[in-house]
Amino acid sequence: MLRIVLFLVLIALAAAGAAWVADQPGDLVLTAGSFRISTTLPRFVFLLGLFAASVVLVWSILTMIWRMPGRLRRRRHDKRHARGRHAITHGLLAIGHGDSALARRHAEAARRHAPNDPLALLLHAQSAQLEGNRDEAQRVFRAMAEREDTRLLGLRGLFIEAQRADDAVGAVMIAEEAIKLSPSATWASHAVLGFRCARGDWSGALAILDSNLSAGLIDKPTYRRQRGVLLAARALELETMDRDVARESAMEAVKLAPTLVPAAVLAAKFESEAHQVRRAMKLVEAAWLANPHPDLAEAYAHVKLGDSAWHRLQRVETLAAKTAADKPGYVEGQLAIARAAIEASEFARAREALTPYLKDPTQRVALLMAELERAEHGDSGRARAWTLRAVRARLDPAWTADGYVSDRWRPVSPVTGRLDAFQWQTPVASLPSDKGPTLESSAFEEAMLAASPPKRVTAAPSEAAVEPPEAAPVPAPAAQDNSPPPAKDAIKEVAKEAAKETAKEAAEQAAKETAEADEAAVTSPEPANPAPPPAESSPPAATPVFRTRADLGKPASAPIQTVIPIVRAPDDPGIDDDGPSDEFTEQIGTPKAQAKAQAGGWRGFWSRWGA
């Protein structure tokens, strides 16, 4: 609206000016030597305006002609740049959805249209990485590292390629160069910190940590925690070499991170050696409330040197009482009580602590039960059954970081190099599942766990343990013998017919006797009567040399004898000829001669076949 009003005002002023000029009387005379021009004022003003417009038009045409090459170059450059940007955009999208061929085509187009664009170099390198061309990717990243604007990006790419090639030294050298260029580069500081921790350069790691705090990469609580982790690692390494530095590092670590288990355990150990029992107990209690751990219980039990096993049990019970029954760490206290009770020979207290966890025991619970059975009753059988059960039991919590399970605490993860990555938790492999167990307990194991402790029994020498005899093949009668008899050629045809009839009768009789024996064995526990002797018949005729399988009769089954069942472990390899060495054989009192009759394995196999 304002522009319209302004336009109308300008038109009105122009019209007023033109009217004023037209109303002016008189003539305008221009004289130059003999040249003289006379005209009116309005006409002169009109001609002057026309001349000015002509001059401006001519100047514009000349300027346009002068600037035309430059404009053409800029237009061509803009088109190439637009095509390069288009190729870069679609190339990065192709890399995002994993189309290596399309990404390579767009990378070639971007390199052709925008060769100096940093994004074109990045697209070229990433397309080479997607295709698996490591050499080409490294070449492009080196070219990027030589440029001022892409130097840090090129170093980052070279670092990744060195990691993929398992060149740890080269990767750390690149990261150290990058951290000199930009101390705030998170990836570089993380790599250098992990490498120095893996090398045991704790002073250098602490320097990198201070640099991260100054650059604002970490906050103050994280800095305190990570510094405590590094100091605890240094104290553990110097515990046997430089105890003064180790003690100083451990005390500073437990001040910075009171809930760090290794720092609390080591600091409590140093305080206990200095006879500062109360201070050591406070350090362990503070860490126990945040994260119950077996090492804390062990340190708390031995916080006072020279105490008896009973006093250690009382101290562990005091520590375990600080954790409520509904907390996840309550089981650690009960297991610590069971361990201390076994050492103090308080077996009833140990069994009471382990009883709530026997339905679904973990490996530590099963091993503690095995130790308890061996220490309390001297029952090696039940101890071995619990040991077998520990193999199939769920895993206990362990130091875990990025899927890696370690038997001890470590300051950094060996998988990713992350600081303070290890946590005391149950490994992923033993988390509960809705599927049934792959390994089930055997019948022997359940029988051993359910049975009472065995007693020593001495068997009489005359009582021999007999295994169930296997059905021995009955010697075939003469009519079934396929060996060629010394018969004459004249009687062979007659002998064949007579042998066929005799074989059929013998087969029917043997089948009938076998069926009667099987029926008697199923219906009656008494041993079956031996089969009646066959009736006398005419002298058998000569047997033919060859006979079909259908003509052969079944042999009569052997009589079933009364057996004495013997309980034997499924993994028992048998008894050697030197005498019974298995503990189950000793418990039932089997003498040496009977042990040979009960031999298993290959000796038992040959003994059953009469070898």
Residue 591 has pLDDT above 50, yes or no: no
pLDDT at position 19: 82
> Average of pLDDT values for 258-283?
93
pLDDT at position 224: 94
Identity at 376, one-letter amino acid code: E
Residue 342 has pLDDT above 70, yes or no: yes
pLDDT digits (tens, 9 = 90+) for 114-160: 888 888 888 999 898 888 888 999 999 999 999 988 899 999 999 99
pLDDT at position 610: 54
CA torsion 433-438-439-442 (nearest 10°) is 110
Interior/surface letters 545-583, b for 16+ CB within 10 angstroms, e for the rest? eeeeeeeebebbbbebeeeeeeebbeeeebbeeeebebe
Q: What mean pLDDT, rounded, does the chain reach?
A: 77
Is the separation of the CB atoms in 227 and 217 below 8 Å? no
φ, ψ of residue 335 in degrees (nearest 5): -65, -35
Interior/surface letters 242-279, b for 16+ CB within 10 angstroms, e for the rest? eeeebbbbbbbbbebbbebbbbbbbbbbbbbeeeeeee
pLDDT at position 17: 81
Work out the pLDDT band at 518, boundaries 50, 70, 90: very low
pLDDT at position 563: 44
- Longest pairwise C-alpha distance within the chain: 178
pLDDT at position 500: 55
> Average of pLDDT values for 222-235?
94
Tracing tokens 């005390």 back to the chain, one arrives at 251
Q: How far apart (Å, rounded) are the C-alpha atoms in residues 543 and 24? A: 162
Q: How far apart (Å, rounded) are the C-alpha atoms in residues 510 and 549? A: 15
Q: How far apart (Å, rounded) are the C-alpha atoms in residues 568 and 444? A: 8
Token readout for 533 is: 């002797």
Work out the pLDDT band at 194, boundaries 50, 70, 90: confident
Token readout for 165 is: 């090639």
Q: What percent of the chain has pLDDT over 90?
A: 35
Q: How far apart (Å, rounded) are the C-alpha atoms in residues 99 and 277? A: 66
pLDDT at position 327: 86
Angle at 297 between CA 291 and CA 303, to 5 degrees: 125
Residue 546 contacts by C-beta under 8 Å, 6 or more apart in sequence?
482
Is the separation of the CB atoms in 216 and 231 below 8 Å? no
Q: What percent of the chain has pLDDT over 70?
A: 70
| Rg of the chain on CA atoms, in Å | 50
Residue 329 contacts by C-beta under 8 Å, 6 or more apart in sequence?
288, 291, 292, 323
Is the separation of the CB atoms in 586 and 580 below 8 Å? yes
Q: How far apart (Å, rounded) are the C-alpha atoms in residues 405 and 409? A: 10
**How many helices and strands, by DSSP H and E, does the chain display?**
24, 5
Q: How far apart (Å, rounded) are the C-alpha atoms in residues 491 and 71? A: 126
Composition of the chain by helix, strand, coil, percent to 5: 60, 5, 35
pLDDT at position 607: 57
pLDDT at position 521: 44
Q: DSSP E strands: which ranges in 360-410?
A: 398-401, 404-406
> Average of pLDDT values for 417-444?
65
Which DSSP letter does residue 25 get? -
> Average of pLDDT values for 1-24?
84
Across the strands, what pairs with 38? 29
Work out the pLDDT band at 43, boundaries 50, 70, 90: confident
pLDDT at position 339: 93
> Average of pLDDT values for 62-69?
91
Token readout for 255 is: 């001040």
Is the separation of the CB atoms in 368 and 347 below 8 Å? no
Number of neighbours of residue 506 by Cβ within 10 angstroms = 20
Alpha carbon distances (Å) from 563 to 527, 566, 591: 10, 9, 18
> Average of pLDDT values for 252-271?
94
pLDDT at position 459: 41
Angle at 287 between CA 282 and CA 293, to 5 degrees: 120
Q: How far apart (Å, rounded) are the C-alpha atoms in residues 189 and 187? A: 6
Across the strands, what pairs with 405? 400
> Average of pLDDT values for 595-609?
51
pLDDT digits (tens, 9 = 90+) for 327-336: 888 999 999 9
Label each residue of 237-296 as H, E or C. HCCCCCHHHHHHHHHHHHHHCCCCHHHHHHHHHHHHHCCCHHHHHHHHHHHHHHCCCHHH
CA torsion 423-426-429-431 (nearest 10°) is -130
Helix (H) or strand (E) holding 39: strand 35-40
pLDDT at position 315: 93
Residue 256: closest CA among 420, 134, 382, 50: 420
Residue 33 has pLDDT above 70, yes or no: yes
Q: How far apart (Å, rounded) are the C-alpha atoms in residues 281 and 39? A: 119
Q: How far apart (Å, rounded) are the C-alpha atoms in residues 202 and 232? A: 10
> Average of pLDDT values for 195-216?
89
Which DSSP letter does residue 549 get? G
pLDDT digits (tens, 9 = 90+) for 564-578: 444 444 444 544 444
